[in-house]
Amino acid sequence: MRTVADDLAAHAARRPGRVALDTPAGEITYGRLAARADELTRLLRAHGAGAETVCAVAVEHGADAVAAMAAVIRCGAAFLTLDVAQPRERLAAFVRGAGTRLLLTTSAHAHALDLGVPTILLDRPGAELDRPGAEPERPGAEPGRPTAEPDGPTAGPDRPTAPPDRPATPPPPVDPQALAYVSHTSGSTGEPSPVLVEHRALDAYLRDTARAFGLGPDTVALQTAPLGYDASIRDTFAPLLAGARLVIVERARLLRPADFARTVREHRVTALLSVTPSFLSHLAGQPDPADQLAGVTLVASSGESLRPFLTAGGRRAVPGTLVNQYGPTECTMTTTRHIVPVEPDTTADVVGTPRAGTVVRVLDAGLVPVPDGSVGEVYIGGAGMARGYGGCPARTAECFLPDPFGPPGARLYRTGDLGRWGPQGLTYVGRTDRQVKIRGHRVDPAEIEGALLSHPHVSGAAVTAHTDDRGRVYLAAHVTGDLTATADAELRTHLARSLPPHLMPRRFQRHDALPTTRGGKADRRRLVAGSAP
């Protein structure tokens, strides 16, 4: 099958001087990026990478990270990207859970990432294979004897690579059903669960995304999702598939609104493919919020309910097209999309219509479709379905079910999300595990968050559920903003204008900033842990 790596090589053949990456180390052309990817492809193949080989990529985001992922795809193998800023124990769990056979990293991270698997140092001449306490070996080599150097020299991440001295045998065609990448789910107890996504699912998704968003050579996309999260795959490869320019900057510049706006202006960014509603709310709380995204013609949001942001009037902060994306990791990132109108409906969180090849069903507890307008659990099938969870057959069987309405062999993924069908497509109602009952009433905290954000002095809001010493469930509101002169009573009065009494938080807690996960979502677990009475 044709992959995004093949398209990258095709762009390099047609326009080798076109800029592919704009990085802190300088601009990288498609020609240089493709040459580095070819070099790493030969290196990986020399060390046995092929179908079903999981290769962990643990480098700072930049040219080598992109080239390494492209090389893994070209080999028909699977990549596992690691966020090198995360704790070593967590990274070790990812590597272990994914069944990793090779680690690609650099000398700067090798010691901290001694994860017990063969390691290729991308910045070492010859990019040798290291095994702690053992001589490097190639598959098939005689034990105890040094191996030959891999084909071709290895250049640094931002230096041109020399052509190979001899013609290289092209990699075999990629098997569409082979594993393409592993991404771990968050928020579950115990070790993170590895989600296994195949090449056919990844390739179909990237091509659909490039088409749906109209990406092309004139697009300048900003990488916002950190490596280690599946959204970073969309950020990286959907633009490159379309021959666009991808801007990669230090992560600290993305987290400070003033630096973020400066980055957008300096690089003339036109597309943001992976921003969270929490981050958009942060931008909307700045002076002249529309200036933060000046020149950006496309903003695609995902990861959380967009409704609180819209309820607070945030749509005015996005001058271009705003797309609400919905979909779990287990279904290759995005399943539905909705173009948010300039005057949005703030009474519902519309996530739109399924992308090509996917199936969305809203079912009751007996797996029977509910009528349009009625709330049920969302099940997803079709083109984006993952294989399941690596090493977790029981959880796979629990979450990936036969599709009673599909052809033989079709499956559905049980999302745990609640939704309903309406005139604009699917409306997200909430999580089965976020909804709580307060005095017999079922409550979605997102509704309260939206009402809080409509207060002129509140710039951020998250609502968490707690249980007191008498077993009663109550709500706590965590807010940010210029609230020095705003008492709790004023916030209650404000909420009472739009919410019934059972939606009123018992406590209000002020924060300089809401804690967030590495993926940019509001970290409600930390809020719950830090606000026990």
Burial class (CB in 10 A: 0-12, 13-18, 19+), 313: middle
How far apart (Å, rounded) are the C-alpha atoms in residues 26 and 63? Answer: 10
364 with 472, same domain: the answer is: no
How many folded domains does the chain comprise?
3
> What pLDDT, on a 0 to 100 scale, did the predictor assign at position 481?
93
> What pLDDT, on a 0 to 100 scale, did the predictor assign at position 81?
97
CB 171 within 8 A of CB 76: yes
265 with 409, same domain: the answer is: yes
The SS3 assignment for 427 reads strand
46 with 107, same domain: the answer is: yes
455 with 399, same domain: the answer is: no
Contacts of 424 (CB under 8 A, 6+ apart): 338, 345, 350, 352
How far apart (Å, rounded) are the C-alpha atoms in residues 180 and 72? Answer: 8
Element (H, E) at 153: none
> What pLDDT, on a 0 to 100 scale, did the predictor assign at position 5?
97
> What pLDDT, on a 0 to 100 scale, did the predictor assign at position 168?
57
Low-confidence ranges of the chain (pLDDT < 70): 125-168, 186-191, 433-435, 437, 439-442, 470-471, 531-533
The per-residue pLDDT for range 15-26, each reduced to its tens digit, is: 999 999 999 999
458 with 415, same domain: the answer is: no
For the chain, give the number of residues: 533
Whole-structure pTM value: 0.80
263 with 170, same domain: the answer is: no
> What pLDDT, on a 0 to 100 scale, did the predictor assign at position 15?
96
> What pLDDT, on a 0 to 100 scale, did the predictor assign at position 524?
87
The per-residue pLDDT for range 404-451, each reduced to its tens digit, is: 999 999 999 999 889 999 999 999 987 776 667 676 566 778 889 988
CA distances from 476 to 2, 99, 106 (A): 51, 41, 45
Residue 66 structure tokens: 């992109």
Region of 127 on the Ramachandran plot (φ > 0 left; ψ -120 to 50 alpha; else beta): left
Give me the CATH number covering residue 152: 3.40.50.980
Q: Give phi and psi for 16, each to the nearest 5.
A: -65, -25
383 with 454, same domain: the answer is: no
How far apart (Å, rounded) are the C-alpha atoms in residues 61 and 223? Answer: 9
How far apart (Å, rounded) are the C-alpha atoms in residues 379 and 417? Answer: 8
Give me the CATH number covering residue 251: 3.40.50.12780
> What pLDDT, on a 0 to 100 scale, did the predictor assign at position 145?
28
- The number of helices, as runs of H, and strands, as runs of E, in the chain is 16, 27
How far apart (Å, rounded) are the C-alpha atoms in residues 91 and 84? Answer: 8
3-state secondary structure 439-499: CCEEECHHHHHHHHHCCCCCCEEEEEEEECCCCCEEEEEEEECCCCCCCHHHHHHHHHCCC
Nearest to 80 by CA among 173, 199, 184: 184
- Side-chain-side CA neighbours of residue 116 (13 Å): 10
Residue 350 structure tokens: 């519309």
How far from each other are the two terminal CA atoms of the chain, in whole angstroms?
Answer: 57
338 with 285, same domain: the answer is: yes
CA distances from 464 to 461, 480, 496, 506 (A): 10, 15, 18, 11
How far apart (Å, rounded) are the C-alpha atoms in residues 183 and 236? Answer: 15
264 with 385, same domain: the answer is: yes
> What pLDDT, on a 0 to 100 scale, did the predictor assign at position 167?
43
Q: Which amino acid is residue 230, in one-letter code?
A: D
Question: What's the domain range around 330?
Answer: 220-230+238-428
**Locate tokens 């409306």: which residue?**
427
How far apart (Å, rounded) are the C-alpha atoms in residues 286 and 136? Answer: 54
45 with 64, same domain: the answer is: yes
**Locate tokens 């033989």: which residue?**
408
> What pLDDT, on a 0 to 100 scale, did the predictor assign at position 162?
37
Last residue of a domain, one of 428, 450, 475: 428
